[in-house]
Chains A and B, each alone.
Chain A
Amino acid sequence: MMVILLLLVPLVGAAVAPLVRDDRAARWFGVGVTAATFGLSLGLLPGVRGPVVSTVDARHAVDMRWIPALDVRFHLGVDGVSLPLVLLTTLLCLLCAVYTLASLPAPGRAPIFVSLVLLIEVGMIGTFVALDLVLFFVFFEVVLVPMYFLIAVWGGERARHAAMKFVLYTLLGSVLVLVGIVTVYASAGTFDIVALSAQGGGRIAHGTQVAAFLALFLGFAVKAPLYPLHTWLPDAHTEAPTVGSVLLAGVLLKMGTYGLVRVAVPVLPEGARALAPALGVLAVAGIIVGSLCCLVQRDVKRLIAYSSVGHMGFVLLGIATLTPTGTNAALLANIAHGVITGLLFFLVGAVKDRYHTGDLGDLGSGLMARLPVLGGLFLLACVASLGLPGLAGFWGEALALLAAFRPDAALSGVLFAVLLAVAAVGTALTAAYFLRLLRELVTGPDVSRVDGTAADAGRLELAAWVPLVLLAVLIGLYPALVLGLTDEPVRALLGVFAR
């Protein structure tokens, strides 16, 4: 029942928030609700450690009738694959609410803003805990409309255009997911994810598997995003308000990769085997293209946005290997990217708030000299993101490369060896553009033309950022924190490939 509470608390919060008249009270209300949700999600932690009997722990599962006419059940559950993502979601939402105490872009209206953020939280958590394909799809779609309004109303100058692009692209993705879902249903006769993964595609013909996987793959690829379906991302991330960018990069992108790991690969193993090479090639292309774009970006927010394309490329490469190692790596890299890029967007947002520009030329170098705390955090986040060993960014991507060295037996070893080599070049490019960013913005002498009186990081801002810094260090030093949760259920999910 705890899972239901986890959805109910933010949902009720979203309904109540617009009724709060006072602006300040609404912001604190947001903090209260997200903190309660975070607390609830921590409560799930003990249940999933220890011996996992099935893929999904029965102690955190709900299975009720919903629409019998459609064979749709209200089936929720949490296991080691979903729990880290649930925790990441609730934590980032809490930090976003805390950050909102410090800053909220025009036109203000905190009650509506908080309500939209809580609605997005419901959708994100729901996607990670749903175990019925239709329910999964419902939650997958919940985030769309609130995120549209978040970007369009509170975003930058070209926000309306970017928001429309975001929502149309992602809707295209999700209707493809729906097509894939009904295709699976038409041959397997059930929407239940647990039952479907237990069957391992056994009842679905090869051709249907490939077709359904293609639909799901394209749908999730838009969300993830996978090159060349990523073009909505830079616009949306750049124009969104800080909180929107953090949630987009931190969690929304993970809904795509989670969908691949939870639904597409285990339910349609033959389809996955047929299309994994394509996924791998596009993932590596994304790594290279994303990095090259970063090298030439002038806008710092856009640069971070493109860096997401590269990082998510590593996640998708890990999934494409169809091995437990690769999938574990993907899930770890997911979390690491959420933590680090979430932090980076917070910091970039703070810089833009202070100087009202994101242009590297206008900002000039020497941020650390002017604002030591903000600059120092920026430095740390950048080196974490470029994959410095000892910080969170390193493990996921290193393990993904390792997995590409030995992909699933049915896949071409030569192809993945080539992909491994190209992706390794990508890591070098990643280091190159982050070092360029540090040189042009953070380190060096203070030669900027911007207003020099801006204040350093405030107490509320630090409260929102420090937990992410700690997590980045903690996961970097002890990756088993995440891998310990994911490993066992991942092996169960991919059991069909071991046979």
Chain B
Amino acid sequence: MTTLLQSIDYVAIGPILAGGVGVVAVLVADLALPLARRAAVLWVGVVGALAALACSLALAGQRRATFCTPATTLPGGVPVGRSCSYVVDRFTVFLLVLLSAAALVALLASVATVPDTSPPGEYTLLVLASLTGAMTLVGARDLVTLVVGLETLTLPTYVLVGLRRRDQRSAEAAVKFLLVSVTASALMLLGMALVYGLTGSVHLDRIAAALAGRAEIRGLPLVTAAIVLVLAGFGFKVTLVPFHWWAPDVYSGAPVPVAAYLATVSKAAGVAGLLLIVLGAFPAYGEVWGGVIAVLAAASMTLGNLVALRQRDVVRLLAWSSVAHAGYLLAPIGIALSARGRGVLDTAVAASLGYLALYVAMNLGAFVCVAAADSVRRTAGAGTAAGAGAGAGAGAGAGAGAGAVAGAGTAAAAGRSSAEGLGGLARRHPWLAAAFAFFLVCLAGLPPGLAGLVAKVVVFRATMLGGLGWLVVVMAVNTVIGLAYYLRVAAGLFRASAVEPDTGLAEPVRLAPSLVAAVGVAAVVTVLLGFGPQLALGVTPFTS
């Protein structure tokens, strides 16, 4: 008999505890602060994310495991060793640092932009709670912990998406997101239930052992069905085609920092969960999930890039581009298809994780720049005309029943993040325009965006080493398509605005220090990762 009392390694779960303490601190601060200074609660959130980042960094180089169950024999007579539910290894630490740093930047970008449109207390609380879920997910090594982490990550984001006051598009996006996500979770849970029913265990390593040890269940079509269901569930989180279609509507309906959070933290956690399950529980089924992932990756990058070509709204464009990047991100994993042995697969996982880090840095930068550009326009517009912010509010109020199309129309008229609205950014804020152009060129994978170029080399190399030449060619063609729209937006920043009249040199606008910090951190990290990509590469796959 095992005892119910467990010894818990509190250092191992330090980042999660920091997130939880942050949530409580935000609650208290939100109550204690006077209404006029409520926005300061966002700084409490920044400190919380910083604490989580510090705890994650403190774990660097360590190997810890907690919440363990002793060795036993599974149904069917498969003996298994000790298994742990939460493990800290290089994989976990890498993702913990990545997630908390990305959430930190997203919160920094919110300080000056969110209080105008959304209640800051609830906003901060939800972001930190979601981050805590994400950090739980990446250390999870059993299905239950994985699901708990994933749902803790996802539940707050439903509210975050719909948090923008008096904005119908925001509410619509939230409902859409909720329905899609719940469906995805249901599919995934069904798959997991099948696996548990077959193997009698929830620990990833035990599932793998059971599938390897019991020939009578190995060949069952149910296993394949379970794998496909789980893949579908994570496909929604990662926005793989054909589970991607919610992303553009949700990203553009949500506050921009929330879109940034969804496109980076949420997606990175989804990738981590996907890797954990397929590699941890189903290592012997590489040709099944490898094939599915390779095909979906090719479809994602192609469709994402082609649709992005036609987007006028920058957030929607970035949403489609992030669909395409989900394809590049998972392409190396597809090599499991050809089963060239564990060593090559390890290289592929390291490549995917390296790409993930580079992608998070540059994509976060691009989204934060959109948030900053919106803020620049609001500040500039406040003096002249009726003010873009007021215009958006009035437009949304008047067109309350007009439906999504009209809603999009008013938003475009108010200039919110449309490509035309960003035109002439270079006049108002040359440094912000330069940073934005840099991130876009990074996403396109060209120098001076060295990070993007290295990312491209990383996935090309790993995929080719795995022998999937056709996928490399698909990626190559897609890179060219991608450049067309990234460059169009980047060049637009330096042209005169189509919306505002060209009145010579526009008045320069000062950015809030928090936004400067957010853009600065993203830019510095992206440049550093470009010159020294070794930092993000060579992460060994996880251990159970």
- Which residue from chain A places its CB closest to the CB of B479 in the assembled complex? A175
**Complex interface: stretch among A138-146, A370-378, A379-387:** A138-146
Give the shortest distance, in Å, between B464 (CB) and chain A (any CB): 4
Listed stretches B117-125, B258-266, B454-462; interface member: B454-462
Select A138's contact among B354, B447, B465, B467, beta carbons within 8 Å. Answer: B447
| Closest A residue to B538 using CB positions | A69
Closest to B461 in A: A182
Per-position 1/0 for A201-237, Cβ under 8 A of B: 0000000000100000000000000000000000000
Q: How far is the CB of B440 from chain A (nearest CB, A)?
A: 10
B79 interface residue (CB < 8 Å to A) = no
- List chain A residues, Cβ under 8 A from B469: 183, 211
CB pair B491–A152 under 8 Å, yes or no, is yes
Q: Which residues of A contact B463 (CB under 8 A)?
A: 182
A142→B457 contact, CB < 8 A: no
Question: Complex Cα distance A179/B461, Å?
Answer: 9
Does B184 interact with chain A (Cβ within 8 Å)? no
Q: Would A123 and B483 be within 8 Å (CB), given that A137-B457, A141-B453 are in contact?
A: no
Chain A: interface secondary structure? Answer: helix
Residue in B441, B450, B454, B480 whose CB lies within 8 Å of A175: B480
- Distance of A145 Cα from B453 Cα, bound (Å): 13
Interface pair B447/A160, CB less than 8 Å apart = no
The answer for the CA separation of A422 and B430 in the assembled complex, in Å, is 54
CB distance from B119 to the nearest CB of A (A): 41
Binary interface encoding of chain B residues 420-450 relative to chain A, with 1 for a CB under 8 A from any of its CBs, else 0? 0000000000000000000001000011101
B454 touches A67 (CB 8 A): yes
- Which A residues are CB-close (under 8 A) to B488? 164
Question: Is the CB–CB distance between A145 and B441 below 8 Å?
Answer: yes
B463, closest chain A residue (CB)? A182
Contacts A119-B448, A168-B480 given; does A182 touch B460 at CB 8 Å = yes
When chains A and B are docked, how far (Å) is the Cα of A186 from the Cα of B461?
8
Distance between A153 CB and nearest chain B CB, rounded to angstroms: 7
Cα separation A179 to B476 with both chains bound (whole Å): 7
The proximity string for A residues 125-154 relative to B, scoring 1 for CB distances below 8 Å and 0 otherwise, is 000000000100110011011001100110
Q: In the complex the two chains form, is A167's CB within 8 Å of B464's CB? A: no
Residues on A with beta carbons closer than 8 Å to the beta carbon of B479:
171, 175
Q: Chain B residues near A72 (CB, 8 Å)? A: 457
> Nearest Cβ in chain B — how far from A163, in angstroms?
8
A178 within 8 A of B: yes
Whether a CB of chain A sits under 8 angstroms from the CB of B537 is yes
Q: Which residues of A contact B538 (CB under 8 A)?
A: 68-69
- B494 interfacial by beta-carbon distance below 8 Å: yes
Given A68-B534, A172-B480, A186-B464, A138 and B487 contact (CB-CB distance below 8 Å): no
Taking a contact as CB atoms under 8 Å apart, the answer to whether B473 and A179 are in contact is yes
Contact of B494 among A153, A171, A182 (CB under 8 A): A153
Chain B nearest CB, measured from A343 CB (Å): 29
Q: Does B281 contact A (CB under 8 A)?
A: no
Tell me which residues across on chain B come within 8 A of A66, comparing CB atoms.
534
Instruction: Find out whether the CB atom of A168 lies under 8 angstroms from the CB atom of B483.
Output: yes
Residues of chain A contacted by B461 (CB below 8 angstroms): 70, 182, 185-186
**Considering the chains assembled together, what is the distance between the CA atoms of A189 and B448 in angstroms?**
27
Assess whether B494 is in contact with A168, with CB atoms less than 8 Å apart. Answer: no
In the assembled complex, B360 has its CB within 8 A of some CB on chain A: no
Do B533 and A67 touch across chains, with their CB atoms under 8 A apart? yes
Q: Are B350 and A142 in contact (CB under 8 A)?
A: no
Residues of B contacting A123 with CB < 8 Å? 447
CB of B315 to closest CB in A, whole Å: 23
Chain B residue nearest to A189 (CB atoms) is B465
Q: Give chain B's interface residue range (CB within 8 Å of chain A).
A: 35 or more
- Known contacts A178-B460, A178-B476; is-contact A167 B487 (Cβ 8 Å): yes
| B458-A70 in contact (CB<8A) | yes
CB B23 to nearest CB in A, in angstroms, measures 36
A143 to B446, CA, bound (A): 9
Cβ of B525 under 8 Å from chain A? no
- Are B464 and A67 touching (Cβ within 8 A)? no
Neighbouring B residues of A144 by C-beta, 8 Å: 446-447
B533: nearest chain-A partner, CB-CB = A67
- Cβ–Cβ contact B534 & A164, under 8 A: no
In the complex, which residues of chain B have a beta carbon less than 8 angstroms from the beta carbon of A196?
none
Quote the shortest CB–CB distance from B372 to chain A (angstroms): 20
- Report the Cα distance A341→B467, complex, angstroms: 44
CB-based contact A171/B446 at 8 Å? yes
Alpha-carbon distance between A185 and B461 when the two chains are bound, in angstroms = 8
Q: Mark B503-532, 1 if CB is under 8 A from A, else 0.
A: 000000000000000000000000000000
Q: Kindly state the separation between the CA atoms of A148 and B488 in the bound complex, as whole angstroms.
A: 11
Q: How far is the CB of A403 from chain B (nearest CB, A)?
A: 33
| Complex-state Cα separation, A165 to B491, whole angstroms | 14
A70 to B450, CA, bound (A): 15
A183 to B466, CA, bound (A): 11
Q: Does B484 contact A (CB under 8 A)?
A: yes
Q: How far is the CB of B263 from chain A (nearest CB, A)?
A: 23
CB distance A176 to B465 under 8 Å? no
Contacts of A69 in B (CB 8 A): 350, 354, 533-534, 537-538
Instruction: Determine if B472 is an interface residue (Cβ-Cβ < 8 Å).
Output: yes
The 8 closest A-B pairs by CB, nearest first: A69-B538, A69-B537, A175-B476, A182-B464, A142-B447, A186-B464, A182-B460, A172-B480
A-B contact sample (9 more), CB < 8 A, given A67-B533, A145-B448, A178-B456? A66-B534, A68-B538, A141-B453, A145-B441, A148-B487, A182-B464, A182-B472, A183-B464, A186-B464
Chain B interface residues toward A at CB < 8 A? 350, 354, 441, 446-448, 450, 453-454, 456-458, 460-461, 463-465, 467, 469, 472-473, 476-477, 479-480, 483-484, 487-488, 491, 494, 533-534, 537-538
Which residues in A have some Cβ–Cβ distance to B below 8 Å?
A: 66-70, 72, 119, 123, 134, 137-138, 141-142, 144-145, 148-149, 152-153, 160, 164, 167-168, 171-172, 175-176, 178-179, 182-183, 185-186, 211
Can you give 18 contacting A-B residue pairs, CB < 8 Å? A70-B537, A72-B457, A119-B448, A141-B453, A144-B446, A148-B491, A149-B491, A168-B480, A168-B484, A171-B446, A171-B483, A175-B476, A179-B460, A179-B472, A179-B473, A179-B476, A182-B460, A182-B463
